[in-house]
Amino acid sequence: MDTQTSATGAETVSDTTGAPPFESWGRYPSYDATIVPLSWQGDFPKVIDGVPAGGALAVGMGRSYGDVCLLKDGTLLQTTGMNRLLAFDAATGLLTAEAGITLAQILDFCVPRGFFLPVTPGTKYVTLGGAIANDIHGKNHHHAGTFGNHVTQFELVRSDGSRRLCTPTENPDFFAATIGGMGLTGVIRWAQVRMKPIVSRKIDYEGIQFHGIDEFLALTEASKDIEYTVSWVDCTSTGKNFARGIFMQGDHSRIPAPLTKSPEPKLVFPMELPGFALNGFTVGTFNTLFFHKQIKKRATALQDYEPFFYPLDAVLKWNKMYGKDGLLQFQYAIPWEHAREGTEAILQAVAKSGLASFLAVLKAFGDVPSPGAMSFPKPGITLALDFPIKEGKTFELFDRLAQMTMEFGGRLYPAKDARMTPEQFRAFYPQWERFARFKDPALTSGFWERVVGTGAGL
């Protein structure tokens, strides 16, 4: 095994067997680990039984941005081979499947039968297990809460060989610890989730331009009855264009239309771009073009669900656009009390830094409580920003933004994180010690080692 340090200071460990390392979406940090594919239910629990000293971690599609799905010198249990549908009841919408199935595979099965995911993130290439372990949220958080709000039961396999059926009433502590538990409480073998009925693939869409956080908040207030809302915000502009954006809202169309399966995406991002390709100029130009793409203040359309929910999935492996040093995402949730001032201050800091991001997503979280003990969302504003990793500068900015988030009483999302300090983690998630009581002693992750750092034992 060779250890090198890249231009960004990232420790890169290459596997001399030549197998490609398991990467997170941000491709940072880059760690070696032994990958053990789980294919059959009989593979449990023996693979986690004799876990070597480095610990183990179940992983899905690696669509987390940072190290919550990585483990240096440990064993990654790759679950994507465990992707079978086990049961579906069209009368109730209850779907049971192995945890390695992707949301894309669930949609292929369910949409032609008139059902859709109750909550979906901005990519459908995540597994059911990953959706539960990070308790993901979507554009309908203000109506539907998190993914965990729609999970009725799952089976959790522990490294001592025990299997627990977890529901809100049976093993409720393990149910709560595992939803948003970052894979640390055990391996989810299968789960049941309640799907929602639809009659069309289409979304009644409306896009509305806004200028500034006050206008964003007014649109949020006016759209309370609309199921899906999300905004793109220009985080490069200052002055009169500061915090301009497009507020996007939609509901599933109620007019019946053919419920066909989605075609496979054909485009794959062809190569890694050089580090200088994404700079203040190119990103600023993109932001201006994106804002003016919608000529009118308001635009409506009957839009297919694919571009509405998954615009980025049209090009596979688009993370290569950020070059070999990868990208970091910064996502906070700041409670209503400080949401407006916190968001303005952070957007100002980003614009001033010149380290622009063109994927800046702004949304108001609702107040549906999550069943997960460690879930990220809380009522207030969430902002997600992508940045290419540029030596020194990006980390400096991240550290500043994380500090500001802490001062505004907010928290960061572990699924997107690669920089949170132990002190910040304890402030963001003060319930972590109670959560740690449910952690499986054999399981750990790069994230957990970084923020708690006591080895697989705690």
Kindly state whether residue 118 participates in binding ligand FAD, applying the rule CB under 6 A: no
Helices 336-353 and 393-407: angle between axes, nearest 10 degrees: 160
C-alpha span between 74 and 445 (Å, rounded)? 9
Q: Output 61 or 110, the one with its CB closest to ligand FAD.
A: 61
Report angle CA 193, 261, 115 to the nearest 5 degrees.
30
Q: Output 145 or 351, the one with its CB closest to ligand FAD.
A: 145
Nearest approach, Cβ of residue 435 and ligand FAD (Å):
13
C-alpha span between 19 and 33 (Å, rounded)? 10
Select the span of 109-117, 133-141, 343-351, 388-396 touching ligand FAD (CB under 6 A): 133-141
Q: Which of 58, 243, 364, 401 binds ligand FAD (CB under 6 A)?
A: 58
Looking only at the bridges linking them, the beta strands covering 187-194 and 244-252 are unpaired
Nearest approach, Cβ of residue 75 and ligand FAD (Å):
12
Nearest approach, Cβ of residue 318 and ligand FAD (Å):
8
Kindly state whether residue 123 participates in binding ligand FAD, applying the rule CB under 6 A: yes
Q: Output 111 or 230, the one with its CB closest to ligand FAD.
A: 230
Report angle CA 9, 415, 407 to the nearest 5 degrees.
80
Select the span of 119-127, 210-218, 260-268, 320-328 touching ligand FAD (CB under 6 A): 119-127
Question: What dihedral angle (degrees, nearest 10) is formed by the CA atoms of 322, 325, 326, 331?
Answer: -110
Distances (CA, A) of 84 to 91, 99, 105, 113, 180: 21, 8, 10, 17, 23
Q: Which of 27, 72, 124, 137 binds ligand FAD (CB under 6 A)?
A: 137
Looking only at the bridges linking them, the beta strands covering 34-37 and 11-14 are unpaired
User: Is-contact 148 134, C-beta < 8 A?
Assistant: no
SS3 label, residue 175: helix
Select the span of 120-128, 214-222, 290-298, 433-441 touching ligand FAD (CB under 6 A): 120-128
Kindly state whether residue 117 participates in binding ligand FAD, applying the rule CB under 6 A: no
Q: Which of 47, 136, 151, 339 binds ligand FAD (CB under 6 A)?
A: 136
Kindly state whether residue 79 participates in binding ligand FAD, applying the rule CB under 6 A: yes
Matching residue, tokens 């539907």: 144
SS3 label, residue 214: helix
Please, which residues bridge with residue 89 across strands? 94
Q: Which of 133, 208, 246, 347 binds ligand FAD (CB under 6 A)?
A: 133
DSSP state for residue 316 in the 8-state scheme: E
C-alpha span between 291 and 285 (Å, rounded)? 10
What is the number of the residue whose Cβ is closest to ligand FAD? 183
Kindly state whether residue 33 participates in binding ligand FAD, applying the rule CB under 6 A: no
For the chain, the 3-state helix, strand and coil shares in percent, each to the nearest 5, are 30, 25, 45
Which residue type does 76 have? L
Q: Output 7 or 312, the one with its CB closest to ligand FAD.
A: 312
Q: Output 191 or 351, the one with its CB closest to ligand FAD.
A: 191
The interface with ligand FAD within residues 382-421 (CB under 6 A) comprises 415
Kindly state whether residue 278 participates in binding ligand FAD, applying the rule CB under 6 A: no
Locate 274 and state its tokens. Answer: 């050089």
Select the span of 57-65, 161-169, 239-247, 418-426 touching ligand FAD (CB under 6 A): 57-65
C-alpha span between 121 and 311 (Å, rounded)? 11
Please, which residues bridge with residue 11 across strands? 5
Nearest approach, Cβ of residue 181 and ligand FAD (Å):
7
CA-wise closest residue to 191 among 142, 237, 157, 232? 157
Kindly state whether residue 446 participates in binding ligand FAD, applying the rule CB under 6 A: no
Q: What is the DSSP string of 327-364?
A: EEEEEEEEEHHHHHHHHHHHHHHHHHHT---S-EEEEE
C-alpha span between 24 and 21 (Å, rounded)? 10
Nearest approach, Cβ of residue 93 and ligand FAD (Å):
21
Q: Which of 8, 30, 75, 127 binds ligand FAD (CB under 6 A)?
A: 127
Kindly state whether residue 374 participates in binding ligand FAD, applying the rule CB under 6 A: no
Kindly state whether residue 78 participates in binding ligand FAD, applying the rule CB under 6 A: no
Q: Which of 99, 179, 203, 243 binds ligand FAD (CB under 6 A)?
A: 99
Kindly state whether residue 138 participates in binding ligand FAD, applying the rule CB under 6 A: yes
Kindly state whether residue 61 participates in binding ligand FAD, applying the rule CB under 6 A: yes
Nearest approach, Cβ of residue 319 and ligand FAD (Å):
7
Please, which residues bridge with residue 244 across strands? 211
Select the span of 180-188, 210-218, 255-263, 286-294 touching ligand FAD (CB under 6 A): 180-188
Binding site for ligand FAD (CB under 6 A): 25, 57-64, 68-69, 79, 99, 121-123, 126-127, 129-131, 133-134, 136-138, 182-183, 187-188, 312, 415, 445
